Each structure stands twice: as structure tokens, then as C-alpha cells.
Amino acid sequence: MKTKSVFIPVVILAACFVTSLGWAGDEGKVVVMNPQGIKPEIRKIPMATRPTTLDGKTVYIVDTKYPNTKPFVNELLAALKAKYPKTTWVLREKFAGYMDDDPNLWKEIKEKGAGAIVLPGH
Amino acid sequence: MITQRFQELVTTTAFKKGIPHMRITYTPHPITDRPADLCREYVAGNDPLTDRPMLEEIYAGLTKKVSAEDGKGGFLKREPRPRLLPPDTPDHLMEYFHEQGFTDGNPIILPTEEKVAEMLKATSHEPDEWVGQMRPSPPHEAWYYTVEMVAVNAVMAGAEPEYFPVILAIASKGVTSLFSSTSSFARMVVVNGPVIKEIGMNTGIGALSPVNRANSSIGRCWTLISKNLGGSGKPGETYLASQGNQLSYNNLCFPENEDGLPAGWDPFHVQKGFDRSESVVSIFSGWSINDIAWYSPLPIHEVIRGWLEHFFSFGTRQATLILDPIVAADVASNGHPTKEAFARFLADNTGTPGWLYWSENPNALKQAEEGVEPYAGWLKKGKGAVVPVSRYKGRRRNNANFMASQDNNEPTTSIEIVVTGGGTNTFWSGGDFGYVGSASVDYWR
């Protein structure tokens, strides 16, 4: 009797402890909630068909105007012109800052260009 | 094209934008501030990641046939989001949370359903109600979250349930505390109104220090929310701060000492159009704070003026002063009856250090050198002399708050003033923080 009367409160105490921790069951494991939010769905953008050659084509080089990167932009343009002279390389500065969109430029490239290189920052 | 340092950023961003196989050519890092000779070498050399000639790789990117899969539309598969995580031992779960980047590197309280349910009792809002959306910076995708998801993070941060409406108000602004920029942003949150005393926030000695549970856990929770609900804080992908910012552990979370305001000085939330009886959180953005512990024969308002004139950081066109109540009393007794009047005095009586003004205004320098006034007269005093043009007049678009929604009630200067502290000395703090916006705590009760 004595053993049983001690055992019962111990079991009750253990059950309370387990419940307070969100104990999952007999394996001493805990169930916790997912802390992450909901990520949006991603709609694929089909990649444009590529021309087999750029000879006779126009390719835009889009300068995003990151501070103090002009020397790189100019050297890239010069090197592309020298290596691929049959292609027309058009350098254009993007509107406003590097984080701003420029839908007019994208429209022009779609209409007149065979491709575009968007340049880096930093 | 992008520099090699941002490979992880650009590949993950391309995926999230729906172009998982975007063609990318890498350059050495950095290219900014590099001379033409070196840039010529870069262009003539190889892509540092693929080790193929840079120009040929560009050409191939523009001409190589696109696969049938990449030419298709549709949706990209994402991992499902279970509400509950698989059962495990507390120790394993703690490690799992650290490994997944769910924490700030310190231990958290495991968010069991029971603890989250207790947290949810502190608001009348339904667990599945949308609170907002948040993103690491404008080019990144936004994640969405509910009241329950915010409660999970509140439990993790060690918040008491009575803090929860304050945390929901912060979350409702949708502003990440871990803004992803190569500069190391910090955020600040100031609490006003009756909720300060209701939940026992510290407005006195050590208000900015880790000596109060509410100040600490609410501020910490904003970091966890930013990581887990706003998708922020993954180095190289959604967090690019080169050195990072220690202020981000707690995001300078403190309440204004409204009882310590001089007569005539309104609490910050009243300045922004709220009623004095409302409880409100106000969000700021900046980079750094100076603590000015210095005795001077000058009156304090003159010391503050001098500091503002010469203060320099990335956020050079805005400032927030955090004044101890006895500093505020000194300032008020020296002829500044309101916060607004003091801010106007400072904006009207601070110039710009010459080295800064002339380097930022090359056209003005050119005109000065051509004898055009008033520039010529300013330059005549020396290139290092203070130029009488304030950096703090009116609102300017600046890096600190861009793309974080700006509320109305624009200040007439870019100087904000908040009072907190215990009055143990006539010291104060100031930094390059700008006001972003406020949210009602009472709405979330």
C-alpha cells in the first residue's frame, strides 16, 4: 500500500510535467510549432529563345549605375566590340537608381535587341 | 553579370523570380573603385567561378539553346509548410532550430502548442488572421504570416503573453529588422502610451540595456520575426551586411520616459498624430548610435548642435536624439519649449563640414571655383570650413527608410527626439536613425 500511495502522486506529477512541455508520448519527444511564415508561390518565367549567332544582331549592355563601376562598364563594352565586331553593342544606362525598374528600356530591348547583358554592382 | 561574391544571392533570387537557370557570368569582386587597367584584365580573363573566358561565357549565355523545360511556364515546386514539426527531444529540437537559422544564435523557448495557446490568449484576434507580409529588402520575395505564427516567435523570444499586442503591432508594420544591404542597417522600436507601465517596461536607469524582460524580449522577438516570418537573415542570400550590426540583437527596443518629459514636450506618438491615451510602437531605421558622455562649459543644446554639425555616418542626412530626462529639462529651460522647436533650432543652426559638402556637391564646387556666389564665398573660408547648409531640413528620401512604408505626419526636419533614461547624469545618445512609421498596440489587444 505504501509503495502504491507514493507511486500515484509521482505518476500524476510526471504527467503534469509532460503535459506542460507538450510531450508527444512514450518516446520522450516534444511536438513544437513551425516558426516560419508562408512563402509565396513562384510562377516560372519562360526563357526566351536564343539566336544561334549574334552576327548582325544588336545586344544591349545595361549599366545599372552602381557607384564607381564606370571603368568596368567601359572596358567590357570595348572588349565585346573588339572580339565580336559583327554584333552591334549598345550601352544604355538604366533609369534612376539600381533598385528602380525601367519598363521603357525593357520594352525597347524586346523590340530592337537580340539580347541584353545586365551589369553588376559592387 | 554579377561579382563572384554574390553567387548565392543571384542564384537563389533567380529561382525565386521564376528563372531557375538564368545565365549568369561572374566577375572578380569588387569592381567598384577599380582602375581601368585592372578592369581590362578582368574582362580579358576568366569568369572566376567557371574558369572559362568571360567574354565567351557571355556570348554563350546569349546564344546557347534554351532547354524545353526552361522555355516553359508554370509554377516551381516549394517545400510544404507543416503547422507542426516532427516530434523530437527538446535538445534535438533546440539544435534543429539553430541549424535551420530559426534563432538568433541564443537558446529559445521551444514553441509547444500549449505555450503558443497561452500567448494567443493575450489578443482578441483569431489565430488565423493575417498580420502582414515582410521581405528582407525590396528585390526579395515577401513572406506572409498570421497571428498564430507571430505567437510562435513570441514564445521563442521568451516574451510574456501580456507583451503580445506590442509584438503584433511591430509585426503589423511589415518592416524587417534585418534589412539586406551590404551596409549594416539597424532598426529601432520605441514604445509609447499606457502599455509601458502595464507590462513593466523600463524607462529609467538602463532603459537601453539588457536589464528588463519586456524591453529585451520584445526587441529580440522582432529579430526572430524578421528571420522566420520575413525570410531575412540568411548570410549571403537574404542578408548581406558586410560587418553586421550588434544593435540587431535587440533592435534598440525601449519605451519613452513620458513622465520625464519637460512641460510642453509631447510624447513621440502624440507628435505622430496619436492620442496620448493610446499605446503605440514607432519604428526607426538607421545604422549607428553615439553615446555622448561628456562635460562641457557649453549649454547642452549647444553641444548637441555641435555634434549634429559634425556627425557623420552612412545616414548622414537624418538624426534621432535619445535624451535623458534631465538633459531634456536642461534643453527646455534654455528656450526650447517643444521637441519640434528644438529640432527646428538644430536644423536652422547646423551647417555641413566642408569636406563632406564639397565631396557631395561637385557642381557647387565647380561654381565656387568659377567665382559663383554664394559658393565662392563659402569656399574662400577653406575647403574644410563648415558650409552654412543644413543636412537636416525637411524630409529627404534616404537609404534608411526607402521602401519601408512611410506614414504621414512628416516632420519638418529630419531630426527626431525621444526621451528615456534614469536621470543619473546629463548624458545623451544620438544617431543616424530616421522615422519609418507607427502602429497601434491597442488594435492588437
- Closest by CA position to B435, among listed B391, B396, B387: B396
- Mean per-residue pLDDT for A70-79? 95
Interchain CB contact of B63 with A (< 8 Å): yes
CB A80 within 8 A of CB A51: no
The closest CB to that of B156, out of A20, A35, A54, belongs to A35
> Residue B409 pLDDT more than 70?
no
Confidence bin at B395 (pLDDT 50/70/90): low
Complex prediction ipTM: 0.89
Could you tell me the CA-to-CA distances from B123 to A37, B118, B275, B280 in Å, in that order? 19, 10, 21, 15
Tell me the backbone φ, ψ of residue A56, rounded to 5 degrees: 75, 5
In this predicted structure, which of A3-17, B333-347, B414-428 has the lowest mean pLDDT?
A3-17
Cell of B183: 551596409
In the prediction, which pLDDT does B389 show?
Answer: 93
Residue-wise pLDDT for B302-357, tens only, equals 999 999 999 988 877 899 999 999 999 999 999 999 999 999 999 999 999 999 99
Interchain CB contact of B35 with A (< 8 Å): yes
Question: How many interface pairs between A and B have CB atoms less than 8 angstroms apart?
Answer: 206
> Residue A34 pLDDT more than 80?
yes
Confidence bin at B11 (pLDDT 50/70/90): very high
- Closest by CA position to B259, among listed B274, B272, B276, B243: B276
The closest CB to that of A39, out of B6, B78, B87, belongs to B78
Residue-wise pLDDT for B163-216, tens only, equals 999 999 999 999 999 999 989 999 999 999 999 999 999 999 999 999 999 999
What is d(CA B228, CA B176) in angstroms, rounded to the nearest whole number? 10
**B window 91-130, beta carbon within 8 A of A:** 93, 97, 102, 110-116
* Interchain pair A72, B112: CB under 8 A: no
CB A71 within 8 A of CB A37: no
- Mean per-residue pLDDT for A16-32? 63
> Residue A62 pLDDT more than 80?
yes
Residue-wise pLDDT for B220-265, tens only, equals 999 999 999 999 999 999 999 999 999 999 999 999 999 999 999 9
* Interchain pair A37, B73: CB under 8 A: no
Confidence bin at B397 (pLDDT 50/70/90): very low
> Residue A19 pLDDT more than 70?
no
- Residue of B13, B34, B112 best to disrupt the A interface, most CBs of A under 10 A: B112
* Interchain pair A37, B64: CB under 8 A: no
